[in-house]
């Protein structure tokens, strides 16, 4: 039997209990990684992901912490590395939305989105970086968004965080390339998740009219892009933004 791509690799997926994060956890586990499923509060959803991984014959564990809390991040990641030896693949997927038009956006909603979506990635990369540099191998994959490139009315905070994540990704790539660590960003377009399921039908119809492929993407398609960038096949790709958006933005 052929060895799986991520055999003997440890992966941490933040926001791994639902949607895109869940699909990434399952894909990495299916390909042999030991997956730490991070969640902030929904333990039942995280347990469901772990149970599904077990059913598929994979292995993993739950890792609860708030990515925006640097002390929590350092403690939990340090404990995991001490127990398991490494975090080889880090996927910064945790994110929230607090939508409002700019004129009405509350300062707290701006701060919270930036703190989770952008600072959270910084916290996790910083906490994992030393062990990755020591091992001289690592894969950092940040989950951005098409709105980080295009902007989106009512999402000034979210778009700013995702655009910032792209600059952060490129800087990490340049700082860590000599240590065998790659840093890339996957920017999904409109993906079928709990977040898009609640959109009114008229809004969905308008969105579909803007997507050349004519449909929304699914979480498994995003997970496939992440798995590729985490693999040895992508060892010469770093500082790159991979758009998974059905042609909504062509770059």
Over residues 76-126, the pLDDT tens digits come to 999 999 999 999 999 999 999 999 999 999 999 999 999 999 999 999 999
pLDDT band at 196 (very low <50, low <70, confident <90, very high): confident
Give the Cα separation of 76 and 87 in Å (integer).
12
Give the Cα separation of 88 and 12 in Å (integer).
8
Give the Cα separation of 126 and 122 in Å (integer).
6
Give the Cα separation of 167 and 164 in Å (integer).
5
pLDDT value of residue 207: 83
pLDDT digits (tens, 9 = 90+) for 2-36: 679 999 999 999 999 999 999 999 999 999 999 99
Give the Cα separation of 26 and 229 in Å (integer).
16
Looking at the structure, give the CATH architecture of the domain made up of residues 10-243.
3-Layer(aba) Sandwich (3.40)
- pTM: predicted TM-score of the whole model, two decimal places: 0.95
Q: How is residue 156 written in tokens? A: 């000034």
Query: Which residue, among 170, 184, 195, 171, has the nearest Cα to 229 in the 3D structure?
Result: 184
Give the Cα separation of 143 and 53 in Å (integer).
21
Q: Is the pLDDT of residue 53 over 80?
A: yes
Q: How is residue 157 written in tokens? A: 């905070």
List, in sequence order, every residue forming a beta bridge with 182; answer none if it has no partner. Answer: 139
pLDDT value of residue 2: 65
* φ and ψ at residue 199, rounded to 5 degrees: -70, 140
Q: How do beta strands 217-218 and 241-244 pair? A: unpaired
Residues across the chain: 251
Are 20 and 226 spatial neighbours (Cβ–Cβ below 8 Å)?
no
Helix H or strand E encompassing 125: helix 120-135
The residue annotated as part of the active site, out of 6, 65, 122, 158, is: 158
Residue 236 appears among annotated catalytic residues: no
Quote the Cα angle for 167-128-164, to 5°: 15
């Amino acid at each position: 039997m052929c060895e799986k791509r991520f055999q003997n690799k440890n992966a941490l997926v933040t926001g791994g209990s639902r949607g895109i994060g869940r699909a990434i956890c399952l894909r990495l586990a299916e390909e042999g990684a030991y997956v730490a499923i991070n969640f902030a509060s929904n333990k039942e959803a995280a347990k469901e992901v772990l149970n599904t991984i077990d059913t598929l014959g994979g292995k993993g564990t739950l890792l609860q912490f708030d990515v925006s809390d640097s002390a929590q991040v350092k403690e939990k990641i340090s404990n995991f590395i001490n127990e398991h030896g490494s975090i080889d693949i880090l996927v910064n997927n945790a994110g929230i939305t607090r939508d409002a038009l700019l004129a009405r956006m509350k300062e707290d909603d701006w701060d919270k989105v930036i703190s989770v979506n952008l600072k959270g990635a910084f916290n996790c990369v910083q906490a994992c970086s030393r062990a990755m540099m020591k091992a001289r191998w690592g894969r950092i994959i940040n989950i951005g968004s098409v709105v980080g490139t295009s902007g989106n009315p009512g999402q000034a905070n979210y778009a700013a965080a995702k655009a910032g994540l792209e600059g952060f990704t490129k800087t990490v790539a340049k700082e860590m390339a000599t240590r065998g660590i790659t840093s890339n960003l996957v920017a999904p377009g409109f993906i079928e998740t709990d977040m898009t399921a609640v959109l009114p039908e008229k809004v969905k119809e308008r969105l579909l009219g803007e997507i050349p492929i004519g449909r929304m993407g699914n979480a498994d398609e995003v997970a496939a892009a992440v798995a590729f960038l985490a693999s040895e096949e992508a060892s010469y790709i770093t500082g790159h933004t991979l758009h998974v958006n059905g042609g909504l933005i062509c770059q």
